[in-house]
Amino acid sequence: SKAYKITVLPGDGIGPEVTSAAVRVLEVITKHTPLQLEITEQLFGGASIDAHGVPLSDGTLKACKEADAILLGAVGGPKWGVGPVRPEQGILKLRKELGLYANIRPASFISENLLQYSPLKESVAKGTDIVVVRELTGGFVSVGSSVLSSGDHACFAWVWGRHLRPTTQGELLPQDFGDKVESSSVSGAHASDLCVYSREEIERIIRAAAQIALAENPPLAVTSVDKANVLATSRLWRQVATEIMEKDYPQLAFSHQLVDSAAMIMVANPRKLNGVLVMENMFGDILSDESSVIPGSLGLLPSASLAGAPDPSKTVSGIYEPIHGSAPDIAGQGIANPIGTILSAALMLRYSLGRPDEAAAIEAAVRKVLDSKAAGGLDLRTKDLGGEANTTEVADRVCEQLEKILAKA
Ligand code: NAD
Ligand code: MN
């Protein structure tokens, strides 16, 4: 069978420590299953600035474009914080070059032992199992002028200190802006921002959300989040979402939720939102941060950014990374929690390589490690969970559990 190409970008700070832990877990998979992976590392971020003067070199970009999927640690640090060339520019450029339009952040308790770290009461937080799917290229931020050149999309603009600027239909039409449109502008006493979506952009993110729901057994419910009572883009969003879901995914439970009420439910009764929540770029920025604190620690959660809807019949590239940053305060000490990166590798198997069983095996191994108790608590906690275990100990234990699980399968 074919060997999948995986490009690993360790990056900066704790990045190399957590990606090497995740690579070890992937190596257990290739050793015990027919899956073949060709794993190579490339410099990225600050490490690449030091070596080549740029955060994303042509060589690294080429390796990323040729890869079936990318595993990223984190970039950045005080060393590169102030210059005109910054590590974070590498991530933005890479996302753009790869056309990553779906940002996926699951938030769930992989072990009930973690309930004690939630900012919510245990009775409220327990059972939360939310996957936020954020549209990453359009909407309220980073509006590209290319979007405006084709028909069939909706615009919304407002001017601070005034009300909405209406056209005959109560909406701003794209041609009103001509070629001069910019996503944001400030002049004198007024500032304005634009929110733009085309039918195609909405359709592909809704399909990605539906495919993510279908990748689970049983399939997840899909909730589309919008502000259709106020925004024209949200009304187009709701219309397109309804069409696609009714026509092509009638087997999935599907509903709509207004974004303000979703934000409230997420802290009052998050289980009510269990399943896939799909939404506009800025709504997703806000609600994915809100959802990610519910299961406790930054060090535990994975994320994915996809260049297409997941499809079991073909590989769809993407960047897989933990939600945390490069943690300069603990870098080089070998004490970073590798679980967010290990779970990112599991997402990579599920969404990019069409390997849900292997993904579930990794998740089960992590659960086993976090479930094991000694002296009435977690016996293998890294610093972010108030413990003293190191990165290698956690990775060793996950690999051990994974070997046991795969031997049984
Ligand atoms: P951070 O996530 O790096 O760290 C926040 C706190 O959480 C720190 O105290 C850190 O020690 C702890 N922490 C984070 N991950 C951990 C882990 N896996 N195990 C144990 N503890 C962990 O956020 P920050 O301090 O705001 O940012 C540091 C640098 O990372 C900055 O340069 C920032 O720009 C960058 N950053 C990069 C990304 C990315 O690469 N996608 C994301 C966020 C921040
Ligand atoms: Mn954000």
In a domain, 260, yes or no: no
Q: Minimal CA–CA distance to 50: which of 77, 74, 17?
A: 77
Taking the centre of ligand 1 as the mean of its atom positions, its distance from the CA of residue 223, in whole angstroms, is: 30
Taking the centre of ligand 1 as the mean of its atom positions, its distance from the CA of residue 312, in whole angstroms, is: 33
- CA-to-CA distance for 367 and 359, rounded, in angstroms? 12
Tell me which ligand sits closest to the C-alpha of residue 141: 2
Provide the pLDDT for residue 148: 38
Residue from 8, 285, 288, 324 whose mutation best tests the ligand 1 pocket (most atoms within 8 A of CB): 324
How many residues belong to the chain?
409
In a domain, 175, yes or no: yes
Query: Same structural domain for residues 11 and 83?
Result: yes
In a domain, 357, yes or no: yes
In a domain, 120, yes or no: no
Provide the residue-wise pLDDT of the chain in tens; the chain has 409 residues: 789 999 999 999 999 999 999 999 999 999 999 999 999 999 999 999 999 999 999 999 999 999 999 999 999 999 997 788 999 999 989 999 999 999 999 999 998 889 988 999 999 999 999 999 999 988 886 544 333 333 444 444 433 222 333 333 444 434 344 333 445 666 667 777 788 899 999 999 999 999 999 999 899 999 999 999 999 999 999 999 999 999 999 999 999 999 999 999 999 999 999 999 999 999 999 999 999 999 978 899 999 999 999 998 999 999 999 999 999 999 999 999 999 999 999 999 999 999 999 999 999 999 998 887 654 446 678 888 888 899 999 999 999 999 999 998 8
Domain count, the chain: 2
Domain end (from 197, 217, 249)? 197
In a domain, 20, yes or no: yes
Taking the centre of ligand 2 as the mean of its atom positions, its distance from the CA of residue 333, in whole angstroms, is: 27
Provide the pLDDT for residue 185: 61
Q: Which domain holds residue 166?
A: 153-197
Domain end (from 133, 168, 197)? 197
- CA-to-CA distance for 289 and 279, rounded, in angstroms? 13
Q: Which DSSP category does 1 fall into? A: -
- CA-to-CA distance for 75 and 135, rounded, in angstroms? 22
Provide the pLDDT for residue 386: 82
In a domain, 101, yes or no: yes
Taking the centre of ligand 1 as the mean of its atom positions, its distance from the CA of residue 380, in whole angstroms, is: 21
Provide the pLDDT for residue 194: 83
Q: Minimal CA–CA distance to 390: which of 345, 330, 341?
A: 330
Residue from 12, 95, 298, 390 whose mutation best tests the ligand 1 pocket (most atoms within 8 A of CB): 298
Query: Same structural domain for residues 84 and 15?
Result: yes
Q: List Cβ neighbours of 376 (8 Å cut-off, separation of 6 or more).
A: none
Provide the pLDDT for residue 167: 39
The pTM of this model reads 0.90
In a domain, 206, yes or no: no
H-state helical runs in 71-164: 87-98, 122-125
Query: Same structural domain for residues 7 and 87?
Result: yes
At position 98, the amino acid (one-letter code) is L
Closest Cα to atom 38 of ligand 1: 325
In a domain, 50, yes or no: yes
